[in-house]
Structure 1
């Protein structure tokens, strides 16, 4: 099964919005003043050009810090952020930071203009000036990108399963951007919103080729089927139930070596109908599975599904929850959870794994074999991410030590028993001697 990186999908949709709304070029801090062309109506280009000016030299950085200190000496001065072409989030962070420092930026540009002697360069600097309307436009555009940032942060984790958040995050992002597109307040951003929504729709439809998304949402004990009940209509909810039941019957058959159930429809076709219908897409009617319920699997199935949402402690991960409740729910649910919860929603965990491997295989340890490196990575992940669910059992050395202590204790008890017996014998002999003396 192919599970696409959801962070990549968010990146493409956000990039579509940025490129449609802003045509400003990307610059380097090494670009000279005369090579930077700024459109006075493009607020993204203005803050990008300002970031280049601030970072272009040490005196300008110092000037920018002094301005911030003069405005508020209690706050730590911050530097502007220059975005990169391949990272949409850097553009969002650049806009957000610039809006935070807007007062200092206005003063900084005015000082550069006042000290510039070249008329040509002075005219270039004047193009960077931002009025109140420009700052308001920047704030509005940043708020639209913030929806994408919220969606990306929802499943960008390598410490706990996050695939169950993928579909809700995409649906929420699609709904928010759709509302903004129809709102007159964001009329200037309608083309950009339309372009980004098309990308979201495209990759949302691609998730229909994989059933893992629905399975992951089901395996979240805090919600189970509640998301579908609250956000999807009755027909789609029925389809989800049928999909899940067919899955469970397959696992039950494999675990218990039963006779296979009757053939059912392809999961990909079923899931395709779910997602296409959810976002308003029409599709051909697909008949439901005709497989009749089997009491043998229903009992195990109902142990989890028919029970309402079960929330553990606030800091408990889904993996930990399943480890604790695996004995109660049985082997079928446990095996299914093991297969599904390992699927991540993004490639963040893989990228961090490579970075972590680089910290293990240093120049001083460049001859480590692959199996040793793998074992070290597993141990490090187990300890740092608290994957262990129970205390480790006694080691061989500890067992040997315990056996030696038992032997010593038994030896001492044997000596005590021997001593008590000898003392008792002496008492009997003394008593006999006493009786002999009286007879005499």
Structure 2
């Protein structure tokens, strides 16, 4: 059992109390170090917010600009006229972000970047407009846009709810770490400052989590929740090879090798726990079947010599390859297979690796983020608002369920590889341009 939550202090306290209660029950199936999974999307949000500090003037100006144009149709019309005079191709509209959701801020900046010249032109004709973004801010955004785009892709893909997400954490987060390191080593002061701020937050949550060993003592120990690593190993396309590659890229060769040895030890110990549990479960049935077989074969086995029995014992004394070793040594599934579905693969191969399949069944169900549950709660807020607050509970339920059914019928249940245009964050307010002007343009 696990719980995926963000880093709010109340969540940490709740997770600690629940963990203590479950540990006190002394259930062999409960492993406390895997219980509390921190929401990856929330950590990405913290990392990017630290890195986007140099862009705050641009973000503030764009936010006020979009609000200013949104409030008046005549202002919007004049703005679009300026776009037309400058031969700027008008898109669907502008975006207004939510300050607490960095991905919505990224989409707002990305949408407004197309109209930076139009903002300058509009400022010449409207004396009340005082939030024109600086060209230098747009230049800085152009430099860091690639890394922000990679963060947006990670957030979108890890926030899915129709496919496993823990197993794809490392393939995506490794590219992000490499990009952050490159920015931290940049000669540009702004890029270097942004990269170093992001790297500090990244290492705080994903390099190691330091907690006190004893509340009354000052010494500390490193405790890691390796749920994401174990889930990656349980993906037949990656196994140990991707983890080894990622660790050496992220931590360096020496530390990466040390981390890899720790993971191997932990993974094999976990497998031994599952194997022992499986033996205990099968022992009663095995003893009953063996007693029946021995009675049936007692009369026919008397003719075998004791010499043959000794020969069997000698030849069977060699070490047997475990199921886990077989899984790890078998050839990995092609990584570029477009038709690969992880859950289908385990359904078809569970008979080959029954114990490892039980591990996969538990670890691959863990969500990497809490976005899907938070989005569900947000749905209620969009149905019931200040202007529609008298609906019956049954009607609210019908609206929420109908929306979920319609969305679910169109969703692809295979992990997406890129962000599509329709993948707009629920927290982004989309401000469309008048259709007549868009069509004429």
Give the TM-score, by structure 1 length: 0.61
Indicate which of 15, 31, 40 corresponds to 1:6: 40
Give the Cα–Cα distance (whole angstroms) in 2 for the partners of residues 203 and 143 of structure 1: 23
What is residue 299 of structure 1 aligned with on the other side? 322
- Equivalent residues of 2:233, 2:243 under 8 A apart: no
Between the aligned partners of 1:147 and 1:56, the Cα distance in structure 2 is 33
The Cα offsets for residues 93-119 of structure 1, whole Å up to 9 and x where unpaired, read as: 12211212223222222232xxx4xxx
User: Are 1:54 and 1:80, in contact at CA under 8 Å, matched by a contact in 2?
Assistant: no
Contact 1:21 1:189 in 2 (8 A): no
Q: Matches of residues 37-436 of structure 1 in structure 2 within 5 Å? A: 42-72=57-87, 75-112=89-126, 116=127, 121=128, 125=130, 128=132, 130-131=134-135, 133-184=136-187, 186-204=188-206, 205-206=208-209, 208-231=223-246, 232=248, 233=253, 234-257=257-280, 298-311=321-334, 313-330=337-354, 332-354=355-377, 363=392, 365=394
Distance in 1, Cα, partners of 2:237 & 2:118: 46
The whole-number CA distance in structure 2 between the counterparts of 1:310 and 1:318 is: 10
Contact 1:11 1:87 in 2 (8 A): yes
Post-superposition Cα deviations, 1:155-186, rounded to whole Å, max 9, x if no partner, equal: 121111111233444443233112112111x3
Shift of 1:139: 1.6
Cα drift, residue 53 of structure 1: 2.8
Aligned counterpart, 2:427: none
Root mean square deviation of aligned Cα:
3.9
SS state of the match for residue 210, structure 1? coil
What's the offset of the Cα at 1:295?
Answer: 5.0
Counterparts of 2:413 and 2:144 in 1: how far apart (Å)? 40
**Which range moves more in the overlay, 7-16 or 188-197?**
188-197
User: How big is each residue's C-alpha offset from its partner over 1:403-430, in whole Å with a ceiling of 9 and x where there is no partner?
Assistant: xxxxxxxxxxxxxxxxxxxxxxxxxxxx
1:223-265 C-alpha deviation (Å, 9 max, x unpaired): 11121332334443333322221111111111121899xxxxx
Deviation for aligned residue 1:364: 7.0
> Structure 1: how far apart are the matches of 2:47 and 2:185?
18
The change in CA–CA distance for 1:129 and 1:69 in structure 2 (over 3 A counts) is same
Which ranges of structure 1 fall in alignment gaps of 5 or more residues?
Answer: 25-41, 261-293, 388-440
CA 1:214–1:97: 2 relative to 1, 3 Å: same
**Alpha-carbon distance in structure 1 between the residues aligned to 2:383 and 2:350:** 34
8 Å CA contact retained: 1:49, 1:128: no
Residues in 2 aligned to 1:325 and 1:71: alpha-carbon distance in whole angstroms: 60
Larger Cα Rg: Structure 1 or Structure 2? 1
Whether the aligned pair in 1 keeps the contact of 2:165 and 2:368 (CA below 8 Å) is: yes
Which digits, 9 at most, give the CA deviation of each residue in 1:284-315, with x for residues without a partner? xxxxxxxxxx956x432233111121148513
Displacement after TM superposition at 1:92 (Å): 1.3
